[in-house]
Amino acid sequence: MTLRREIMGEVTTLNASPEPLIHVLWHNRILASPYLFRKIYPKREVVVLTSASKDGVTLAAAVKVFKVGAVHGSSSRRGAAAIVALRRATRAGKDLVFTPDGPRGPRYQLQPGVVKIAQTTGLAIVPLHIEYLSCWTLKTWDRFRVPKPFSKVRVTLGEPIKIPRDLDDAGFEKERQNLEQVLHKEVRDAL
């Protein structure tokens, strides 16, 4: 709550989008994201994908405070059920949020799930970068960031990206790599 915010990007245009959006950000930047989503998108409903673990349940309870919903699942546990729940959420008009390198990494490597959801739903992906100008970096797999009180946080909303529905394997991989590169552009620490 003490963070000073700087928001960059087309907030007004994104807020006015009649269809749901898919936001992606790196796992190590998520701590303040529920709070920031409420500030950026006060009227949009949001659902995050969390792991099907105790940590995921804890995260779901934490984001609920900010009126953010959660779907539990990952590529290794409850994946099919998560996809069904995510599609149901978008049909209800809710935005989705993914950390495409979580919950176990490798850090800053985009897993294909978010591209597949965007491809099958036809929804636009909005690359999201959160930079804490003063933070602690934890010794975890993702070098998790914890903003220091009263520090500045810079949020950059990228241009929406549409994934074509008819892609062969090579085209899909190219889209995945392109999105990964877009997310890398805003990362200032070593990849």
67 or 189, greater pLDDT: 67
Residue 76 has pLDDT above 70, yes or no: no
Can you give the length of the chain in residues? 191
Mean pLDDT within 125-152: 95
Helix axes 113-121, 79-91, angle to 10 degrees: 40
Helices and strands of the chain, counted as H and E runs: 6, 9
pLDDT at 55: 72
Nearest CA among 147, 110, 105 for reference residue 130:
147
Alpha-helical runs (H) found in 6-150:
11-15, 33-40, 54-64, 79-91, 113-121
93: left (phi over 0), alpha (psi -120 to 50) or beta: left
CA dist 46 and 94 (Å) reads: 5
Mean pLDDT within 160-166: 95
pLDDT digits (tens, 9 = 90+) for 11-33: 999 999 999 999 999 999 999 99
In terms of C-beta density within 10 A (0-12 exposed, 13-18 middle, 19 or more buried), how is residue 100 classed? buried
pLDDT digits (tens, 9 = 90+) for 55-71: 767 776 777 777 787 78
pLDDT at 188: 64
pLDDT at 189: 59
CA dist 177 and 85 (Å) reads: 26
Confidence of residue 190 (pLDDT cuts 50, 70, 90): very low
Confidence of residue 84 (pLDDT cuts 50, 70, 90): confident
Tokens of 173: 């991989």
Query: What architecture does CATH give domain 4-185?
Result: 3-Layer(aba) Sandwich (3.40)
Mean pLDDT of the chain: 88
CA dist 181 and 158 (Å) reads: 12
Mean pLDDT within 96-106: 87
Mean pLDDT within 73-96: 80
Mean pLDDT within 119-125: 95
The label of the residue with tokens 């552009």 reads 185
Other residues' Cβ atoms within 10 Å of the Cβ of residue 62 = 14
72 or 97, greater pLDDT: 97
Confidence of residue 78 (pLDDT cuts 50, 70, 90): low
pLDDT at 105: 83
The label of the residue with tokens 């049909």 reads 91
CA dist 148 and 125 (Å) reads: 29
